[in-house]
């Protein structure tokens, strides 16, 4: 296996947990080109005609199926914007595994901007996992955007992870929820060095009996900078909860600005935010179990970002 193939394999394992070609539908993008695609009877993947990207169509009633759409960049100087549209039918239960990995070995910047639009059909469930990872030299930028429209009774569970190496990241998510629909978002981020992250999440609870939960957890090290803008707007009889927990270390900076907005007397909305360093008694307790101070610190961080 060539060095290039090893780099690609490592990136796919980190961002999509792929150790081999996945079962089911998939589209793998490498250095701005297609590196493999497969549609199935239930999930069809087509190229967009008006822009770089794909259209994923899931048939009504599709259950316990998955589609993997990872992106890897293994060369310096590649910058791209990709537009992916998802049309999820009624009464579906599907897993979407996205994610981007960048490896650079030169001074030129590389960047991937992914714009995802999801239309989730009535009474359908979607689990969406997106992991970002980068390594090497030069600037490595990722700017994901996601817009989701949930039909009545639909739900989406979003897990976004960024645990290292991304120089600059701007994450924008907007979700519109109809009646009886549910949103669950878990965000885990770690930055170091001079890395920067800006995350803006907006959920509009438009229908009665809709709900949303946003849980953001982060660790900021070195001279890194993090800014979070999680917001829920209640336009109906609904429930929303925003929680942000951050650990700050070294000379890092963290801003957390949660917002809840009620446009209905029947909206119940809560927000919480906490920023602080690792407590000394937590480290001391683990040290009594035989860990060094550094090992104890890493164990606590791993628990926070799990």
What is the SS3 assignment for 179?
Answer: coil
Spell out the alpha helix ranges (H) of 70-128: none
**Predicted pLDDT of residue 286:** 63
Looking at the DSSP bridge assignments, the partners of residue 29 are 34, 71
- Write the DSSP assignment of 220-256 as a string of letters: E-TT-EEEEEEEEEE-SSEEEEEEEEEEE-TT-EEEE
Query: How is residue 296 annotated by DSSP?
Result: H
CA distance 46 to 83: 12
**Predicted pLDDT of residue 4:** 60
CA distance 306 to 27: 27
pLDDT tens track for 119-162:
999 999 999 999 999 998 889 999 999 999 999 999 999 999 99
Mean pLDDT score, 68-77: 91
pLDDT tens track for 245-295:
999 999 999 999 999 999 999 999 999 999 988 776 776 766 677 777 787
**Predicted pLDDT of residue 161:** 93
Whether the per-residue pLDDT at 7 is higher than 70: the answer is no
**Predicted pLDDT of residue 3:** 60
- Cβ atoms of residues 124 and 91 within 8 Å: yes
Mean pLDDT score, 20-44: 89
What is the SS3 assignment for 94?
Answer: strand
What residues contact 221, with CB distance under 8 A and at least 6 apart?
Answer: 190, 191, 192, 193, 249, 250, 252
**Predicted pLDDT of residue 22:** 72
pLDDT tens track for 186-224:
999 999 999 999 999 999 999 999 999 999 999 999 999
Whether the per-residue pLDDT at 18 is higher than 70: the answer is no
Pairing of β 140-142 and β 100-104: unpaired
Nearest Cα neighbor of 216 from 97, 99, 299, 304 is 304
Average pLDDT, the chain: 90
Residue 193 Rama label (left phi>0; alpha psi -120 to 50; beta): left
Estimate the share of the chain in helix, then strand, then coil, as percent rounded to the nearest 5.
10, 55, 35
**Predicted pLDDT of residue 163:** 77
**Predicted pLDDT of residue 246:** 94
Confidence of residue 298 (pLDDT cuts 50, 70, 90): confident
CA distance 90 to 264: 29
Confidence of residue 116 (pLDDT cuts 50, 70, 90): very high
Share of the chain above pLDDT 70, in %: 92
- Write the DSSP assignment of 180-202 as a string of letters: T-EEEEEEEEEE-TT-EEEEEEE
Whether the per-residue pLDDT at 11 is higher than 90: the answer is no
**Predicted pLDDT of residue 151:** 98
**Predicted pLDDT of residue 291:** 74
Mean pLDDT score, 157-181: 95
pTM (global) more than 0.85: yes
pLDDT tens track for 95-109:
999 989 998 887 888
Nearest Cα neighbor of 218 from 276, 145, 289 is 276
End-to-end CA distance of the chain: 32
């Amino acid at each position: 296996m060539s060095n290039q193939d090893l780099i690609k394999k490592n990136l796919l394992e980190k961002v999509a947990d792929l150790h081999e070609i996945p079962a089911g539908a998939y589209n793998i993008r490498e250095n701005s080109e297609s590196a493999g695609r497969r549609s199935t009877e239930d999930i069809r993947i087509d190229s967009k005609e008006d822009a770089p990207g794909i259209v994923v169509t899931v048939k009504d009633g599709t259950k316990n199926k998955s589609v993997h759409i990872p992106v890897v960049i293994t060369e310096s100087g590649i910058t791209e914007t990709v537009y992916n549209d998802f049309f999820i039918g009624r009464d579906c239960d599907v897993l979407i595994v996205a994610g981007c990995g960048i490896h650079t070995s030169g001074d030129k910047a590389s960047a991937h901007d992914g714009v995802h639009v999801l239309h989730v059909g009535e009474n359908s469930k979607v689990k969406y996992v997106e992991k970002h990872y980068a390594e090497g030299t030069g600037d490595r930028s990722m700017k994901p955007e996601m817009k989701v429209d949930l039909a009545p009774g639909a739900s989406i569970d979003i897990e976004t992870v960024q645990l290292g190496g991304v120089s600059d990241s701007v994450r924008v998510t907007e979700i519109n929820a109809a009646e009886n629909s549910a949103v669950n978002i878990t965000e885990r981020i770690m930055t170091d060095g001079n890395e920067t992250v800006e995350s803006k999440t907006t959920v509009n609870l438009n229908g009665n009996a809709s709900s949303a939960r946003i849980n953001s957890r982060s660790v900021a090290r070195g001279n890194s900078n993090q800014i979070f803008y999680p917001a829920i707007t209640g336009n109906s009889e609904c429930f929303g909860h925003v929680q942000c927990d951050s650990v700050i270390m070294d000379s890092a900076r963290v801003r957390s600005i949660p917002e809840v907005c009620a446009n209905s007397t029947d909206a119940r909305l809560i927000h919480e935010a906490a920023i602080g360093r690792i407590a000394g008694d937590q480290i001391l307790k683990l040290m009594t179990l035989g860990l060094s101070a550094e090992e104890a610190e890493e164990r606590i961080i791993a628990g926070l970002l799990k």
